[in-house]
Amino acid sequence: MKREAGGVLLLVLVALVLVGALVSAGWLVGLHELRVADTAAAPARALAAAEEGAWAQVGAWKSSQYGALPPGGALSFAGHAGGALGSFEGSVRRLSELLFLIESDGRDPDDRARQRIGLIVRLRPLDLSISAALSASGSVSVAGGARLAGRDEPPAGWVCPPPGKTLPGLRLGQDAALELDGCPGGRCVTGAPPVLVDSAAESFVRLVGVEIAALRAQADKVIGPGLWVVGPSQVGGKCRYTAPSNWGDPDRPQGPCGEYLPLIFAHGDLRLHGGRGQGILVVDGDLTVSGGFRFFGPVVVLGQFDTTGEGGHFRGGVVAATVVVAQSTPVESLTVGYSSCAVRRAVVAQGTPEAVPGRSWLRLHQIP
């Protein structure tokens, strides 16, 4: 009887050992399969992280920095992908005026796989209309000594394509009042034609070609009213993009702030005395300029554009509701002159990136 009980117990123990062995073997096989599957998924996670890194740069495009890159220049980026996909790092490199290459390196969370992709994007320039040296939807008063020129001329020292066609020196609505005090025969306004009377100029939105709210939303700098003295700012040989009074450096196109062309939006009445800037200036109020202030690029003034004393010098194009240009010093100094180069550089700097259709994405290489 005891022998039989002992035999049964032995059989039970053997069976338990066999079952345990089978369970352990099954668990080990399952764990191995899980690890194999997870290892196989690592490259996919790394690729997803790389793609997220590239598209994140498109979605949060830094126009003030990427737009300031010269051809061949690059800026780096890094971050973490969502959904535990891993991390990414890479660079945005300017290939030409409108083309950029985004290189993004992705890693899975356990750093078992890396993938690298490239994304080619093209800038769509801001659709801002400049159809004359000076355009106005209301009255215009120009004193002798000031000059409005529709001839296309590049700013001094800039590398620009050949000049384009000559535009009107002044464009205004059919019912707008025009005074040319001290300007016999209208010689202070030149262009083709010198003065263009156009019913479309009566609509400010049609003059500008873009909604003011859209310019406000895209602005690199939003400033308050009052007196401003602006000029380039740099630290350690690098341009200080965040300085409110830094509006680029048109006098040194190859300098640290030479490629910086911000979009500045001013709330209320703005006064500018001396200094210089470039890019796009939008004033939601009146703009009064004195002290020889100079600006290169499109200027949009929702109120009155007024130059006094030494006045100001604008190369690009100005659009305003009403205009009062006082006597300039020295006599016959340029007040507003058209420049397709200044306008082009400004609207390209504020361009919106979009993937090149059909051939934008490429896998650069795979890193095990």
The b/e string for 124-135 (b: 16+ C-beta within 10 A; e otherwise) is ebbebbbbbbbb
Dist CA 262 CA 180 (whole Å):
33
Rounded to 5 degrees, φ, ψ at 349 are: -60, -25
**Which is more confident, 169 or 68?**
169
pTM across the whole model: 0.82
pLDDT over 90 at 224, yes or no: yes
Q: Taking CA 213 as the corner, what is the angle to CA 209 and CA 215, rounded to the nearest 5 degrees? A: 65
pLDDT at 67: 83
Lowest-confidence segment of 37-46, 51-60, 181-190 by average pLDDT: 37-46
Mean pLDDT score, 52-61: 92
Task: Kindly list the distances between the CA atom of residue 117 and the CA atoms of 107, 263, 361, in Å, as whole numbers in the listed order.
Answer: 12, 32, 7
Window from 83-92, 95-104, 151-160, 329-338 with minimum mean pLDDT: 329-338
Instruction: Say what the pLDDT of residue 310 is.
Output: 75
Rounded Cα–Cα distance for residues 262 and 15 (Å): 80
pLDDT number for residue 171:
92
Cα–Cα distance for residue pair 130/283, rounded to 1 Å: 16
List the structure tokens of 31.
Answer: 């764990």
Tokens found for residue 208: 């500008």
Distance CA 208, CA 200 (A): 11
Taking residues 235-252, what's their average pLDDT? Answer: 94
Look at residue 21 in the predicted model and tell me its pLDDT: 64
Mean pLDDT, the chain, integer: 86
> What's 208-262 look like in SS3?
HCCCHHHHHHHCCEEECCEEEEECCCEECCEECCCCCCCCCCCCCCCCCCCCCCC
pLDDT at position 36 is 46
Look up residue 71 and give its two tokens: 């051809």
Looking at residue 174, its pLDDT comes to: 83
Phi and psi for 284 in degrees, rounded to 5? -90, 65
- Reduce the DSSP state of residue 365 to 3 states and report it: strand
For residue 269, what are the contacts with CB-CB under 8 A and spacing of at least 6?
225, 226, 283, 285, 286, 287, 288, 303
Answer yes or no: are the C-beta atoms of 164 and 191 closer than 8 Å: no
Q: Which of 302, 308, 252 is nearest to 277 (CA)?
A: 252
Whole-number pLDDT of residue 367: 46
What integer is the mean pLDDT of 309-334?
79
What pLDDT does 27 receive? Answer: 61
Q: What is the pLDDT of residue 182?
A: 73
Beta bridge partners of 287: 270, 305
pLDDT tens for each residue of 139-180: 999 887 788 999 999 999 999 999 999 999 999 888 888 988
Q: Report cis status (omega within 30 of 0) of the bond before 193.
A: yes
For 59, other C-beta atoms within 10 Å of its C-beta total: 8
- Who contacts 175 (Cβ-Cβ below 8 Å, separation ≥6)? 202
Whether pLDDT at 365 is above 70: no
168-218 per-position pLDDT tens digit: 999 988 888 898 887 777 788 999 999 999 877 666 666 677 788 889 999
Question: What is the structure's pLDDT at 22?
Answer: 65
